[in-house]
């Protein structure tokens, strides 16, 4: 009996093994699963694994309906993770050319426009980007990408200086797409554009709408900061800044021989001190954060990508690891001379690196690969000790010897200037400069205090008094509060 049962069992096992395998699903099902898993990897910031999934769809499931979305995600990877615009554009171009009726096509047009927008340095290039956004709206009028395209159109108009056109595009987002996830950002831009147009009261009303309509959005606290800053400057008969006696930065020796201070959008305060040969950071709650070692520090700035630039006498540190030296053509043909008297450095909105050097009294421009391009804004000799980039891409130069603050566009065209003297003010020893989101200029003068100017050059207010003995460096908090390093007191003072 046992032998018979054993033979039956072996027969059943043979039949089971001989039976055809159960299908694993259709190619469409497999491709969709790969796409979903890839997006899950992306959300967990496992970008390499996500890219592998998307590439598998393109190479192994190219006839499925998921290939366009996979190409879109591949383009996003190269755009947002590797910052490789050429590879990103290649993926997006494949979609609009090979899959124009697909779900991924509207997004491809949007990203093609954003690549053009990010790299645009002239109005004509911005118009090319806007054309991509308009093409999306015309071809796919019911797509969820339409409000994004309208919002991006507003950003492009703002970058071109066409503020009324920017307001019109952003207003369409707010009115026609009130539930879109970009509507809070669009409403915020409306308020900011009115502020840049010199209409602070209207700006405050529009920004308050962000808080009223979208109180849970990330834009609500930013709107509050902007309203606070505008009210401080324009809420009364004149701008008012009062010292906050409760504000203390416990930096020890880091508050000695301070050369520059810088506040980031996340409210991290950086202090560059020659005494400790470092740039120290302090979080909003006062806790000490990261530090960057540097010899003979001169100035601080922040790149459009958020990297901290520490300019030292012989090099510029960009972020935690990248240290660059710079050279210019010498008097001998083919021989380059290394800069060794650097005073300041900034990255422009267009991606150029500007380095001020005290030896020749020039500002030199370098491309994104740190290759020498030429002088900026011209070959005129200047003692530039501070540089900054404003919210609209304007490049601010403080010429200490001429006692003038000038603002140029990316091409080197003079937009406006202040100093050496004017109605109600005279620069004596200008030491530092900052600029707020509304393009108001703040100038620290070691003997005159802090001067605040409107974009039109009007003196809005002078901050001085017994507490402010020798202002050497300054920066702005996100709510428009002013932080000033006083060299004589060896303290960071806050005015709000």
In this predicted model, what pLDDT tens digit does every residue of 284-305 receive, in sequence order?
Answer: 999 999 999 999 999 999 999 8
Q: What is the mean pLDDT of the chain?
A: 93
What token pair was written down for 101?
């009726």
Cα distances (Å, whole numbers) of residue 349 to 161, 248, 311, 448: 14, 33, 18, 32
pLDDT of residue 180 exceeding 50: yes
Average pLDDT over residues 270-295: 94
Cα distances (Å, whole numbers) of residue 95 to 27, 107, 142, 146, 192: 20, 9, 19, 17, 35
- CATH architecture, domain 252-495: 6 Propeller (2.120)
Cα distances (Å, whole numbers) of residue 347 to 269, 313, 378: 19, 17, 18
Select from 56, 484, 6 the least CA-distant residue to 255: 484
For the CA atoms of the chain, what is the radius of gyration? 28
pLDDT band for position 121 (cuts 50, 70, 90): confident
Supply φ then ψ for residue 444, to 5 degrees: -90, 125
Q: What is the 3-state secondary structure (H, E, C) of 174-230?
A: HHHCCCCCCHHHHHHHHHHHHHHCCCHHHHHHHHHHHHHHCCCCCHHHHHHHHHHHH
The number of CA neighbours under 13 Å toward the Cβ of 447 is 6
Domain with CATH 1.25.40.10 in the chain: 27-234
- Cβ-based neighbour number of residue 371 at 10 Å: 9
Domain with CATH 2.120.10.30 in the chain: 252-495
The whole-angstrom separation of Cα 250 and Cα 100 is 59
Question: pTM, whole model, 2 decimals?
Answer: 0.89
The number of CA neighbours under 13 Å toward the Cβ of 161 is 9
- CATH architecture, domain 27-234: Alpha Horseshoe (1.25)
Q: Is 127 exposed, middle or buried (0-12, 13-18, 19+ CB in 10 A)?
A: middle
Q: What is the pLDDT of residue 15?
A: 41
Coil, helix or strand at residue 101: coil
Q: What is the pLDDT of residue 14?
A: 45
Do 378 and 384 form a contact (C-beta atoms < 8 A)? no
């Amino acid at each position: 009996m046992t032998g018979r049962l054993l033979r039956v069992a072996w027969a059943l096992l043979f039949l089971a093994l001989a039976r055809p395998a159960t299908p694993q699903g259709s190619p469409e099902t497999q491709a969709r699963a790969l796409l979903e898993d890839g997006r899950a990897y992306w959300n967990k910031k496992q970008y390499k694994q996500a890219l592998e999934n998307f590439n598998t769809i393109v190479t192994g499931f190219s006839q499925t309906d998921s290939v366009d979305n996979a190409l879109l995600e591949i383009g996003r990877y190269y755009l947002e993770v590797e910052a490789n615009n050429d590879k990103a554009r290649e993926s997006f171009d494949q979609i609009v050319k090979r899959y124009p009726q697909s779900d991924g096509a509207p997004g491809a047009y949007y990203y093609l426009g954003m690549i053009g927008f990010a790299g645009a340095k002239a109005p004509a290039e911005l118009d090319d980007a806007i054309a991509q956004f308009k093409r999306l709206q015309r071809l796919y009028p019911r797509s969820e990408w339409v409000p994004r395209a309208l919002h991006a159109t507003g950003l492009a108009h703002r970058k071109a200086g066409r503020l009324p056109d920017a307001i019109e595009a952003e207003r369409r987002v707010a009115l026609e797409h009130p539930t879109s996830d970009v509507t809070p950002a669009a409403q915020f831009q409306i308020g900011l554009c009115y502020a840049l147009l010199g209409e602070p009261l209207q700006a405050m009303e529009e920004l308050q709408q962000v808080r009223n309509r979208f109180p849970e959005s990330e834009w609500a606290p930013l709107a509050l900061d902007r309203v606070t800053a505008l009210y401080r400057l324009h809420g009364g008969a004149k701008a008012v800044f009062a010292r906050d006696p409760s504000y203390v930065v416990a930096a020890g020796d880091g508050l000695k021989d301070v050369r520059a201070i810088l506040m980031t959008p996340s409210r991290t305060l950086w202090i560059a001190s020659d005494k400790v040969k470092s740039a120290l950071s302090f979080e909003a709650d006062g806790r000490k954060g990261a530090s960057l070692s540097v010899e003979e520090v001169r100035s601080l700035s922040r790149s459009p990508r958020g990297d901290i630039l520490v300019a030292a006498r012989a090099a510029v540190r960009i972020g935690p690891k990248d240290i660059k030296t710079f050279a210019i053509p010498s008097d001998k043909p083919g021989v380059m001379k290394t800069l060794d008297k650097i005073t300041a450095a900034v990255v422009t909105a267009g991606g150029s690196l500007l380095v001020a050097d005290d030896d020749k009294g020039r500002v030199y421009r370098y491309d994104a690969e740190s290759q020498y391009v030429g002088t900026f804004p011209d070959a005129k000799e200047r003692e530039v000790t501070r540089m900054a980039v404003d919210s609209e891409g304007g490049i601010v130069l403080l010429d200490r010897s001429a006692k003038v603050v000038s603002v140029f566009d990316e091409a080197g065209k003079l937009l406006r200037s202040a100093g050496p003297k004017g109605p109600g003010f005279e620069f004596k020893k200008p030491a530092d400069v900052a600029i707020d989101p509304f393009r108001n200029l703040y100038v620290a003068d070691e003997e005159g205090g802090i001067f605040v100017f409107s974009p039109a050059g009007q003196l809005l207010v002078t901050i001085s008094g017994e507490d402010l003995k020798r202002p050497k460096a300054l920066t702005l908090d996100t709510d428009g509060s002013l932080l000033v390093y006083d060299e004589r007191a060896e303290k960071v003072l806050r005015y709000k």
